[in-house]
Structure 1
Amino acid sequence: MSYYHPNPGIYRQPFASRTAAAEFSSSPAAPGLKGNVQFYQMPYGVEVFVYVEGLPPFKKEKNGVQTGPHGFHIHEKGLCEIGDGKDPFATAGGHWNPDQQPHGNHAGDFPVLFSNQGRARMIFFTDRFKVDDIIGRSVIIHQGPDDYKSQPTGRSGKRIACAVIQSG
C-alpha cells in the first residue's frame, strides 16, 4: 500500500502491538482527494493518524448545505464503490456502531477534519475499539460537518472519500 504523506516514516509506532491502514479513494465531488489513515494498537487504546489532501474548500449554500469541516467516521462495510456517482460509497453501509449508542457516541465517530488549503492532518487517541475490530471496515470522509447529535448519521452530507481498513 502506498501512502501520500511526504514523510510516511513519521507515523511508525514502535510500541504498537497491531497496526492497520487505509488509503482513500475519491468521489466525483472531490476528484483530487487522496490520503491515508493509520491505526496503531497501543496498551490503552488506538492511536489514529490521518493525512489528507485535496479536500474541497469551505462553502455554505443558501439552502444550508455546507462543505467543510468534514465529517469523518468508520462505516460498517469495507466496500468503497462509487456506483453512478450520485450516492458514492453507499456500499460502505452506515456508521459503525457495535454497541448501539446514540450518534455522537458511536465507536466509529471521529473528530471532524478541518481543511487548511485542502490539506488536513490529525492525530487522536480512542479507547472505543481495538485495531482488530475495524479491519475490513471502511473510513468515510463526508462533505459537511458532523453535528454529533442527529440520528443516525449526524447530517454530515454526501460521502466524498472512502478507504478500506486493511491489516498493517
Structure 2
Amino acid sequence: MFAAATIKGDKIAPSLNGKVLFVDVPGGTEVYVEVHGLPEYKPGSENKAPIGPHGFHIHEIGNCTMGDMSNPFSASGGHWNPSKQPHGNHAGDFPVLFSNKGYARMSFFTDKFKVKDIIGKAVIIHENPDDYRTQPAGASGRRIGCGVIEQLNLRTCPYYNNY
C-alpha cells in the first residue's frame, strides 16, 4: 500500500512545499520526504529557540486549515500517538528535517505503523527542532507546513517513480 501527503506552507513559510511518500515494506513502513522552501537555520539564544532543524511529525487529524498565525494548523490536533507513549516514542515522531539552503530530502524506516493506519492523518513540519523529551510534543514550535495523508494506487502513483 502507498500513501502520500503534499506539504504546503502558509503565511509563516509561504514558499514551503513538498511531498511525503509512505510505502508498506516488510515489518513496517518506509517514509520518503522531499521539501523545498524551508526556513534557513538560525541558532538559538538563551531565551529564543533556534529555527531548524525542523520538527517533523504525523498529527491526529487530516485538516490543514491555517487558522490563527499564533497557533497555525492547530486543526490537525496533536501528535498521533495511538499507543499512548511518552513523547519521543510516539508512532508519529519522526527524525528532524535539516534545511540545506531551504531543501531537505531523507528516507527512513519505522515499524510503528503500516500505511493503512495513517490515511487521513496530517504530516506537520515545525519551525524549531524536536527535543524528543518535552511532553507532549517536543517543544518544536510553530507549525509551518502541513499535508493530509491520502492513499495512492501504485498504477497512478507519480511519486513512487521519483525514488
TM superposition score normalised by structure 2: 0.90
More divergent stretch after superposition (136-145 vs 23-32) = 23-32
Instruction: Choose from 37, 40, 49 the match for 2:23.
Output: 40
Partner of 1:116: 100
CA distance in 1, matches of 2:68, 2:97: 26
C-alpha distance in structure 2 between counterparts of 1:26 and 1:54, whole Å: 9
Q: Output the CA distance in 1 between the equivalents of 2:23 and 2:66.
A: 28
1:167 paired residue number: 151
Counterparts of residues 5-24 of structure 1 (less than 5 Å): 18-24=1-7
Aligned match of 2:125: 141
Residue from 107, 111, 128 that aligns with 1:127: 111
Question: How many residues are aligned here?
Answer: 151
Deviation at 1:27, TM superposition (A): 2.2
8 Å contact 1:75–1:95 — kept in the other structure? yes
CA distance in 2, matches of 1:148, 1:107: 13
Report the equivalent of 2:34. Answer: 51
C-alpha change, 1:111 and 1:61, in structure 2 (3 Å) is closer
Find 2:56's aligned residue among 72, 79, 88.
72
Q: 1:61: how far off?
A: 4.8
Aligned identity (percent) is 60
1:60: Cα distance to partner?
3.1
Residue in structure 1 matched with residue 137 of structure 2 by the alignment: 153
Q: Which runs of 5+ in 2 are unaligned?
A: 153-163
1:107 aligns with 2:106: no
Partner in structure 1 of residue 10 of structure 2: 27
- Of the three residues 69, 73, 76, the one matched with 1:92 is 76
Residue aligning to 1:10: none
Instruction: Compare 20-29 and 136-145 and name the one that shifted more.
Output: 20-29
Q: Give the RMSD, CA atoms, in angstroms.
A: 0.9
Distance of 2:32 and 2:149 partners within structure 1: 13
Where do 5+ consecutive residues of structure 1 fail to align? 1-17
Which range moved further: 53-62 or 97-106? Answer: 53-62
